[in-house]
């Protein structure tokens, strides 16, 4: 009798494993802690599928994985300039918006839509979250807030003798900030304007070059201010609120700055295109979009979700820096352009750091 029971249990276990392995799989490529995994579980239960979720640390890593083609990813969530590049390289395909039954229930914030439509990839993306680059500063430093509010980008580029300034160690971001400081478009390829940006970086007298670590250096007081993404600020702000610690930092966005947007795209290597559209559509359900945006804490791309998060006291996002595009501001979106442009920016940053 025991043998019969053991055989039955073995068969049931085998069938259960076969059931799991036979489920359709959806391969998703995204940033770390950038999706509410409860919603992934709900999607799996709703559609009887398995989501294979891989996290990356940069847009470049994401592009490398898609170019390799060894894994057939169905969904990726790159940033604007990388979406532009992936489109140019034919690594993503147009979205079939007729398959997104919830698309017309939400409204992309018009200012955002106009920006990425002008970049030429509106047919390839469903926007996910957006924000700005700006200046993170330590509020314990006397007089610094007033200086930054009065001088904007000049505070970073002209006061390196007075304050400890950190610059993003990325050609795109550092040169972009220098172009903005110099009064030029973030996508400029004019030789004289790029030279002005290079000279601004050389004269900046930056105390540190970094990336994600810059926010920690400001909060610790090692730096007084640094170029960061709005997401860097929000992650530290929410963490401080959760831990109930004193917040000794703030974020300032100059009147003219670079706006970033991350979006869901479908790679050309996708082998489950219909399911990929169902995944995107699942995150366009109002309740799901709201839950996910509240989880990641960045500005949502849809007007209905933004209005709820800002105006409903249950959410509490009614603070100035949450809006990436306030009235009277000027916003530019970075465009990939070409390999030659990228190489030029790399050269500018290398010479600036050497100086």
Query: How far is 299 from 302, CA to CA, in rounded Å?
Result: 9
Q: What is the pLDDT of residue 16?
A: 46
Angle CA(32)–CA(35)–CA(36) in degrees, nearest 5? 125
Read off the pLDDT of residues 122-173 as tens digits, 9 standing for 90 and up: 999 999 999 999 999 999 999 999 999 999 999 999 999 999 999 999 999 9
Tens digit of each residue's pLDDT (9 = 90 or more) over 52-102 = 999 999 999 999 999 997 789 999 999 999 999 999 999 999 999 999 999
pLDDT of residue 7: 42
pLDDT score recorded for residue 258: 96
CA distances to 34, 109, 245 from 127, rounded to whole Å, are 14, 10, 33
- Catalogue the long-range contacts made by 39-44 (C-beta closer than 8 Å, 24 or more residues apart): 39/282, 39/283, 39/288, 39/291, 39/292, 42/282, 42/288, 43/279, 43/282
**Does an H or E element contain 175, and which?**
helix 171-181
Q: Where are the chain's structural domains?
A: 2-110+120-130+260-322, 131-259+330-354
Provide the pLDDT for residue 154: 98
Here the contacts of 85-91 (C-beta below 8 Å, separation 24 or greater) are: 85/336, 86/265, 86/267, 87/120, 87/121, 87/124, 88/336, 90/268, 91/63, 91/66, 91/67, 91/267, 91/268, 91/269
Distance CA 82, CA 80 (A): 5
**131-259+330-354 and 2-110+120-130+260-322 share a CATH fold:** yes
pTM: 0.91
CATH 3.40.190.10 applies to domain 131-259+330-354: yes
Q: Which fold has domain 2-110+120-130+260-322?
A: D-Maltodextrin-Binding Protein; domain 2 (3.40.190)
* Res 71: pLDDT: 81
**What pLDDT is stored for residue 320 in this prediction?**
87
Model confidence over 286-333: pLDDT tens digits? 999 999 999 999 999 999 999 999 999 999 999 989 999 999 999 999
Q: Read off the pLDDT band of 247 (50, 70, 90).
A: very high
Half-sphere exposure of 96 (CA within 13 A, CB side): 10
**Confidence grade of residue 17 (pLDDT, cut at 50, 70, 90):** very low
Q: What is the mean pLDDT of residues 179-191?
A: 97
pLDDT, residue 97, reads: 98
- Centroid of chain to Cα 320: 19
Check residue 18 and give its pLDDT: 46
The chain-wide mean pLDDT, for the chain, equals 93
Percent of the chain with pLDDT over 70: 94
Mean pLDDT of 109-128: 97
pLDDT of res. 338? 86
pLDDT of amino acid 44: 98
Torsion angles phi and psi, residue 73, rounded to 5: -70, 140
* Percent of all residues in the chain with a pLDDT value above 90, rounded to a whole number: 89
Per-residue pLDDT at 21: 60
Q: How many other CB atoms sit within 10 Å of the CB of residue 124?
A: 19
Q: Is the pLDDT of residue 36 over 50?
A: yes
């Amino acid at each position: 009798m025991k043998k019969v029971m053991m055989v039955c249990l073995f068969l049931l276990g085998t069938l259960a494993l076969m059931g799991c392995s036979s489920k359709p799989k959806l391969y998703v490529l995204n940033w770390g802690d950038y999706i509410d995994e409860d919603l992934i579980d709900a999607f799996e239960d709703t559609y009887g599928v398995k989501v294979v979720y891989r996290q990356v640390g940069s847009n470049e890593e994401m592009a490398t994985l898609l170019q390799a083609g060894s894994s057939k990813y169905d969904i990726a969530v790159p940033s604007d300039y990388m979406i532009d590049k992936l489109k140019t390289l034919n690594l993503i395909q147009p979205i079939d918006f007729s398959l997104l039954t919830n698309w017309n229930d939400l409204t992309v914030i018009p200012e955002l839509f106009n920006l990425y439509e002008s970049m030429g990839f509106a047919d390839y993306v469903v926007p996910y979250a957006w924000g700005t680059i700006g200046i993170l500063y330590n509020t314990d430093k006397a007089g610094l807030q007033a200086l930054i509010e009065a001088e904007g980008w000049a505070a970073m580029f002209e006061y390196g003798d007075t304050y400890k300034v950190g610059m993003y160690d990325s050609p795109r971001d550092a040169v972009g900030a220098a172009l903005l400081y110099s009064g030029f478009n973030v996508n400029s390829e004019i030789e004289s304007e790029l030279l002005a940006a290079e000279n601004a970086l050389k004269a900046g007298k930056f105390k540190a070059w970094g990336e994600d670590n810059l926010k920690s250096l400001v909060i610790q007081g090692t730096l007084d201010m640094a170029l960061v993404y709005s997401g860097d600020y929000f992650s530290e702000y929410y963490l401080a609120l959760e831990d109930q610690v004193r917040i000794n930092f703030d974020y300032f966005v100059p009147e003219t700055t670079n706006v970033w947007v991350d979006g869901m795209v479908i790679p050309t290597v996708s082998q489950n295109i219909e399911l990929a559209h169902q995944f995107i559509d699942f995150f366009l359900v109002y309740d799901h979009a709201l839950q996910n945006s509240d989880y990641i804490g960045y500005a949502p791309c849809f007007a209905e979700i933004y209005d709820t998060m800002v105006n409903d006291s249950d959410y509490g996002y009614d603070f100035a820096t949450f809006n990436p595009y306030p009235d009277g501001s000027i916003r530019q979106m970075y465009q990939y352009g070409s390999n030659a442009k990228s190489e030029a920016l790399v050269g500018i940053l290398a010479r600036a750091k050497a100086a």
